[in-house]
Structure 1
Amino acid sequence: MADKEAEFRQQFQDAFEGADYPVSNPMELVPALPNGPGTRFEAGDTSFTAMELATKMNDAQDFPYDDVDALVDDLIEGLKQKDML
């Protein structure tokens, strides 16, 4: 489980660190993604696109975000709350 969390944490960090912070909504993150909303995150047997992630994490995110670390922390916490991690 911890390995899966570390894998997702690194993938999110890599994908979202290039965004122009602060970001006030999920759409501001799209230009940073290598494959746009179709960017896929995978760890173990869990896989989802950035679009699916945004839909599932809508209530777990607390925009605006001033930096990538706060965003990634909320994404990881949201995955845990939804039993996806």
Structure 2
Amino acid sequence: MVDKNDLRQQLTDAFVDADYPVNSPMDLVPALPNGPATTFESGDVSFTAMELNAKAGSKQSFPYDSVDTLVNDIMDGLEDEGYLNE
């Protein structure tokens, strides 16, 4: 089972140090501890940063001025695509 709060916190921690505003997914890469290979895991789901863009990218609406709006859209995209269903 996915712990949505834990996943949200992992995303926030990873993207909080990005140089906002960010205009594209590539602007986020320098903030990630392992670049595009950075992995986010909760319960039985695991995504690299690259996979997140592919799986939740349809909900992203760049530019982003804050980590909270970015993470909200990522979480909404994962939810809409069924990746966070229990």
TM-score (norm 1): 0.94
Aligned residue type for 1:5:
K
Structure 2: which 5+ residue stretches go unaligned?
none
Structure 1: which 5+ residue stretches go unaligned?
none
Aligned partners of 2:47, 2:57: CA distance in 1, in Å?
15
The sequence identity of aligned pairs, in percent, is 58
User: 1:43: which partner in 2?
Assistant: 42
Aligned residue type for 2:51:
E
Aligned residue type for 1:70:
T
Aligned partners of 1:48, 1:84: CA distance in 2, in Å?
10
User: 1:60: which partner in 2?
Assistant: 59
2:57–2:74 contact (8 Å) kept in structure 1: no
User: 1:82: which partner in 2?
Assistant: 81
The DSSP-based 3-state class of the residue aligned with 1:57 is helix
Question: Per-residue deviation at 1:82?
Answer: 0.6
Aligned residue type for 1:33:
L
Aligned partners of 1:35, 1:75: CA distance in 2, in Å?
19
The DSSP-based 3-state class of the residue aligned with 1:48 is strand
What do the CA deviations read for 1:38-57 (whole angstroms, capped 9, x no partner)? Answer: 00000000001001111112
Aligned residue type for 1:14:
D
What is the root-mean-square deviation of aligned Cα atoms in Å? 1.1
Question: Per-residue deviation at 1:59?
Answer: 1.1
User: 2:15: which partner in 1?
Assistant: 16
Question: Per-residue deviation at 1:6?
Answer: 0.2
